[in-house]
Amino acid sequence: MRLPPHLVCLAMTGVLALSVVGCFGSPNGPPATPNVPVPEPPPPETPDGPAIPTPARMETPPETNVTAEPPAEPEIHIPYAVTEEAVPRVFFTNQVGRNVDSVFLDGQRLTNLQVGEIQTPRGITVDPVMQKIYWCDYGTHSIRRANFDGSDVEAVITDSAAGFRGIAVDGERQHIYWTDQELRAVFRADCSGDQIETLIDTELEYPYAIALDLQHGKLYVEDHAAQAIFRANLGGTEFERFVELDIDERLIPSGLAIDVDHDTLYYAEGSIHGRIKRVSISTPGVPTIIREANVVRGLAIERSLQKLVWSEQVGEETVLRKSDLDGTDA
């Protein structure tokens, strides 16, 4: 099915913490909200340049690689987050529609969550403990949250100097972590927005996607300008370059996903002829390419089904895809 144009960020309810919504619904079952058509306004001007309407659809990828000429000024960033619930569902930010939407992983029930003012949405994540979604808005310089149905919207953090990008949640400790492109740093705060801490403010050039490995007490940050994925303890100590990246900055892939069951980090690399790779986080070795892909904009692990979920730019469209964890059965 087609999703709203210009997908920006995804979050999935399923069983993890990152930026994609894998499995979930309301505590009483899937929401009864009917499909809501999403208008397609002209692309707004954003701090990163004009937005490009790129319709997205749900589909199963073909076995052969799809190549396409890059559209001008691409700006489709889709982090993911996973929670635990009955039905796989994806939350995503829509830059053209300037809203937060959701759709079930089978492509059913596309819903506009009506979360109020949004200008330039970026990262989105899910808190499975409190059943909240959090998202970054580069335009309003804020991090906001709402219930899974879009109600009870709150501004958690507002900072006119901030360039909020990626976001992740530690639901057990009720902490949010986020990257800031303008300040070139990683921050942490209580989920209420209090007790803000600067965790990392060295070596970063353009931090974007962020993922938490709560099992081992680590955080991972993707920085395409620095051409690396960095790793640190949750408190910001023992900061190190963990993986070197090969990225064409014309089309910037973005996405991190941690498979906590197999101690594996998944990430996107390349550009038009891109790829999804994975590497062990317990015994680091040579990363393995598991899937060729075009301009990946987000990754997530759906633990209950043991699936990898990602968004991918194909020509002027963005598609949401899934496969087994080794990249097969896509």
What tens digit of pLDDT does each residue of 196-221 get?
Answer: 999 999 999 999 999 999 999 999 99
- Report the pLDDT value the prediction gives residue 271, as an integer from 0 to 100: 61
Residue 191 has pLDDT above 90, yes or no: yes
Please give the mean pLDDT across all residues of the chain: 75
Between 195 and 61, the higher pLDDT residue:
195
3-class secondary structure per residue, the chain: CEECCCEEEEEEECCCCCCCEECCCECCECCCCCCCCCCCCCCCEECCEECCCCCEEECCCCCCCCCCCCCCCCCCCCCCCCCCCCCCEEEEEECCCCEEEEEECCCCCCEECCCCCCCCEEEEEEECCCCEEEEEECCCCEEEEEECCCCCCEEEEECCCCCEEEEEEECCCCEEEEEECCCCEEEEEECCCCCCEEEECCCCCCEEEEEEECCCCEEEEEECCCCEEEEEECCCCCCEEEEECCCCCCCCCCCEEEECCCCEEEEEECCCCEEEEEEECCCCCCCEEEEEECCEEEEEEECCCCEEEEEEEECCEEEEEEEECCCCCC
- Report the pLDDT value the prediction gives residue 251, as an integer from 0 to 100: 60
Residue 247 has pLDDT above 60, yes or no: yes
pTM, rounded to two decimals: 0.76
Most confident of 56-60, 225-229, 298-302: 225-229
Q: Where are the domains of the chain?
A: 2-324
* Rounded average pLDDT over 177-194: 96
Classify domain 2-324 at the CATH superfamily level.
Answer: TolB, C-terminal domain (2.120.10.30)
Between 141 and 304, the higher pLDDT residue:
141
- Report the pLDDT value the prediction gives residue 106, as an integer from 0 to 100: 77
- Report the pLDDT value the prediction gives residue 112, as an integer from 0 to 100: 79
Least confident interval from 10-14, 115-119, 128-132, 241-245: 10-14
